[in-house]
Structure formats: C-alpha cells, structure tokens
Structure 1
C-alpha cells in the first residue's frame, strides 16, 4: 500500500465492487474510447462483479495487477491503476491509469502515479515500465512526463477504440534507475 496526503493506493478487492462500478459508471463516457475492455465488460453491476473477480484472479498467476486510489476520508475510489502486458523475462510491464473526473486536475493523479511507479520498480523488480496514450490525451502525457517517462515513439495504427477506429499511440517508457 502507498499512503500520501489523504489517499491510499492499494490492490483492488472484491469488497470494492460497488465503488468500482460507480467509478466506471461516473466516467464511462470519458473511458469508452481507450479503456475498451473495461467499459465493455462492466455494463451492468453483475458484469462488473464477474470482471472484477477475473482481474483479481489474474494477480495470482502474475499476469495482471489492479489497484485503486482511495480517498481515506470518504472511502470513494478516486482512480484506477493497472499493471498489464507483463513480460517477466525482461522484466517490463505496461501501466494503465484513469482518474474520476471530479478529482482530475488536483495533483492527486500525479502524486499517486509517481509513487506507484517507484513501487512497481521496488516491489515487482521491473527494469522498465511503459505506457501508451493517444495524442489527444494531454493529461496522460503530462502525467507520464512528471513521473520521469520519456517518449519512445509513436506507433501507427496501434489501438482499436470502442468505436472501431484504429489510432496511433504515443509510447512512453521509464527505465529503472
């Protein structure tokens, strides 16, 4: 667990179901293009429970790790961070991240993400972390840069959005110091 100010970054658990569903539901429109899997698998509360159980199970196989950012005062979920596309041979992994719209622009995401990156290097022993974002997602680009990630390039036609459009993505990487 990572604690800072009035927030905690921790692994998601099944008892987060209601708050997790609310986080997605409140941000569904913002998430639909670039969190295709999450949005498509969480249309109902029951679907979300199945999805949450599946992603929690994947951590036992060391395939995927899901974390939430929780407001310590009201226990609301402020954001979500995941570790995916893990290659233990290198070892490297991709990070994904989204924040509840009402908490955006307050510095919470930047602080949580930077601390989480350090946690990933220290706890999991990754030698490289990367993230992908669309050129329209300026907030994600700033977040990556503040956390010390560098642009590694633009990969053309790299991601299919929920609407079926195949778009270019900017890759950011950070090497363990």
Structure 2
C-alpha cells in the first residue's frame, strides 16, 4: 500500500527505513523531545533504530499498531511519521500520532497525510472511530485535527506527562467513519 499526494508518499514502515528514521529523529531531537520522547529514545542510534523498525514491522503484521513514513517521492527524504496506535479492535477505534521535521513544518503535509490515512483506516483497517489527542497549545496538531473534520470531545485531565514535566491536560478530538465509506 502506498498513498500519494503532491510530491509525497505514505508507506508502512519497513526494515529499510531504520537508518533514515534514526537520522530523522536525531536531526529533529529538539522538536520531538516533548511529545515523542519514547520514539526519540528508541531511535537514538542506528542499532536502536533497526530494533525499533523491526518491532514496528512485526506490530504492523499483527495489526497491533501501524507506523507509516512520509517521504518526498523524488528525493526519498523522510519528512514525517504517522502512527495509528492504541488500536481497540473490539470497538474499532484507533488514535493518530504524528510528527514532521523542521524543514517541512507548516506545509500541511501531516494534514494531507492524516486525511489519506483516515480514509485508509476506514476502508481497510475496519476502524470506525479515529482519535487525535493534542495539547491545546500545540496549535499545529490541533489544526491537523480540525482541518480533517475531527471534532473536539473533551479535555483529558493529566493525560500525558512529558519528560521532567508535570502531567498535562490534553484535548481529545474524534472522527467517525462516514456512511459513504
């Protein structure tokens, strides 16, 4: 499965992505350290990135979690990653998490990727509810949710604790599978 828009493509992670993922995470360390500390730590070296990638490929095969890469189609540069995680197959629900590199922020690439992956999740993963959980001050992430038709549901108190910080309240947004899918 490959999804395309503009000059970019979305693919499920594969073993050949380890080095690019390590480089992507390390070069954007300051950008990702607050909301992606686990992914950052698990990709701090090429060896760790290889182990991380192998784990994510296995999770994808078992339909436990999906990690997608966002790459420039021509240069093959990794510009972002998008998770569909916290899957609950009983209630057919999953949660998006995403990050984009410094040079590509503000270009609506994650907005476009989430749009395509929402359609993919509804059509191919048997998901009926997609969620985005974002801090109210993380306006780019909130805008990804709103620009894709996700609707604010509620504030989740003390939902996320960044490294060396107090717990943060997070905002829950949801998108439901339209009847046309």
SS in 2 for 1:42: coil
1:161 aligned residue: 162
Describe the SS at the equivalent of 1:105. coil
Aligned residues: 177
TM-score, normalised to structure 2, is 0.94
Contact map agreement 2:19 2:49 (CA 8 A) in 1: no
Task: Please tell me whether residue 44 in structure 1 is matched to residue 45 in structure 2.
Answer: yes
Structure 1 segment 19-168 matched on structure 2, within 5 A: 19-168=20-169
Runs of 5+ in structure 2 lacking a partner?
A: none
Tell me the distance in 1 between the aligned counterparts of 2:28 and 2:59: 24
d(CA) in 2 for partners of 1:43 and 1:163?
19
Deviation at residue 120 of structure 1 after TM alignment? 1.0
Instruction: Normalising by structure 1, report the TM-score.
Output: 0.96
Is this contact kept in 1: 2:25–2:44, CA < 8 A? no
1:112-142 per-position Cα deviation (integer Å, ceiling 9, x unaligned): 2211111111111211000111122100000
Equivalent-residue separation in structure 2 for 1:129 and 1:31 (angstroms): 22
Point out where structure 1 has 5 or more consecutive residues left out of the alignment. none
Question: What RMSD over aligned residues (CA atoms) do the two structures have, in Å?
Answer: 1.1
Q: What do residues 83-113 of structure 1 show as CA deviations (whole Å, max 9, x unaligned)?
A: 1110000100011111111011122222122
SS in structure 2 at match of 1:116: helix
Deviations along 1:27-81, one digit per CA (max 9) or x if unpaired, are 1111111112102222222111111111111112211111011101100011100
Q: Secondary structure at 1:52's aligned position in 2? A: helix
